[in-house]
Structure 1
Amino acid sequence: MHPNQQQLLQQRLQAFRHEAQQLQAQLQRAQQEEADSTEPQPPEQPPRSEQIRGRLMEVDRSIRQIMSQLQHAPHHMPGVQDGGPPMTQLQAPPGFPPHDAGSPGKMGEDPMTPGGKKKRPRKPKAPKTPKVDAEGKKVKAPPKKKKKKDTDDGSDGGPGEKKKK
């Protein structure tokens, strides 16, 4: 993507985000007015809050589209090659989770995988063969010892409880 085109997209994104903030404020005011209003709404005209909400959805869609275009474009670093101002961190519009676009992902990690770890294919497990000693008898592991609990004092031995002496 050409640097001028990327800069234009950044400007459009900033303008859409500003409009989204304005629409959020208008929507809150309109909803408050509709809640306080005692006169009935005309049935042929949708409420003002619905009109604002529709425009806000269009703006959000445009923001997501521009973000997608900017993310899929080959990265151009302003300030490094063309002497332009450095990029500022972008703010997520209200209602969207913040994303730290400034932190680069580690190599080999899929950003879409939860937890950030790449899944490895499982190795097929071979069936276990019983161990046999020199005499031809199967060798068994010694049984595990169970922890003893003192239950004569009426407590269940839960965490945080101290024994009475």
Structure 2
Amino acid sequence: MLIAKLQCFFRGVGKSSKLLDKMSFGSFNKGYDSPFQWLTRDQKIVDQYIEDPKCGGVFSCSFWRGFFSGLIAINKVRNVKKISRDLPILFLSGDNDPVGDSGKGVIKAVGFYKNLGLKKVEYKLYKDARHEILNEINREEVYQDIANWIDKIITND
């Protein structure tokens, strides 16, 4: 957060921050041939992402400042305690998603919420799936799991 604030101060809020981009995304593509293969195993989607001029840009200092501020807020105990204990929450992630530390971050988040008294927290990790599970090669499975979870919530509440 401090680096984001300093980047905003010295570079300007609307200026992009290659430093924060590298610090945040730099290691995600380790072991892959192209810079965005960490997103999905579906090479067609990766190619479309690379070809889209609106994708793959470097975020502004202001974005990073807000992003880190949001991460801090959602991890504060006092904020999580404001969530209804009976609110159904579903975490979905690929077990090869570097953003979620290959599933470890999701499991940690689920434990955090459950330890604070939330009763209906569930998760599913998709084998070998990467970051964009709705653009993965098993996307139909993900869609079906979401639909089934929603149906379960609607019929049980």
Using structure 2 for the length normalisation, give the TM-score. 0.23
Using structure 1 for the length normalisation, give the TM-score. 0.22
Give the structure, 1 or 2, with the largest relative contact order (CA under 8 Å, sep 6 or more). Answer: 2
